[in-house]
Amino acid sequence: MAQCKEQVWDQWHYHDCRRNAVEDGYCRQHHPRSVQARQEASNKRQKEKEAQSPAARLERAQERITELEKMLSLLYYDVQAYGFPDGSLIGQEIANSLERVKPYLGEI
């Protein structure tokens, strides 16, 4: 059986991969499809890791704060313009909007 045609680095020099070729002249590990799949999985893990970094969380928090500040300014405008009468339609809409904001406030 033919050997895999990939060259591998062993921290000292390159040599031929010693595994048997199973498809297109490559072993399972070195077949371009496997290499690509591992690379994509690695990229995905890296992206997930970066998304949890303090810098990324800070950026998301700042975006959320900006979004909440816009909502608050709109609500402030509504309250200034229409008041906040109990049971009124606009009062109910404002109350609903405030309910939507609430979950974000504790999450950052």
Give every CB contact of residue 74 below 8 A, 6+ residues apart in sequence.
Answer: 97
Kindly state the smallest distance separating residue 11's Cβ from Zn ion, in Å. Answer: 17
Min separation Cβ 5 and Zn ion, Å: 8
What does the per-residue mask of binding to Zn ion show for 5-24, with x meaning CB under 5 A? Answer: -x----------x-x-----
Q: How many residues at the interface with Zn ion, by CB under 5 A?
A: 6
Using a CB cutoff of 8 Å and minimum separation of 24, what contacts does 30-38 make? 30/4, 30/6
Region binding Zn ion by CB under 5 A among candidate stretches 4-12, 42-50, 62-70, 90-98: 4-12
Q: Which residues contact 22 (CB under 8 A, 6 or more apart)?
A: 28, 31
Contact at 8 Å (CB) between 75 and 98? yes
Which of 19/64 has CB closer to Zn ion? 19
| x/- letters, 24..63, toward Zn ion (CB under 5 A) | ---x--x---------------------------------
CB 20 within 8 A of CB 3: yes
Gyration radius of the chain's alpha carbons: 29
Which chain residues interact with Zn ion by CB under 5 A?
4, 6, 17, 19, 27, 30
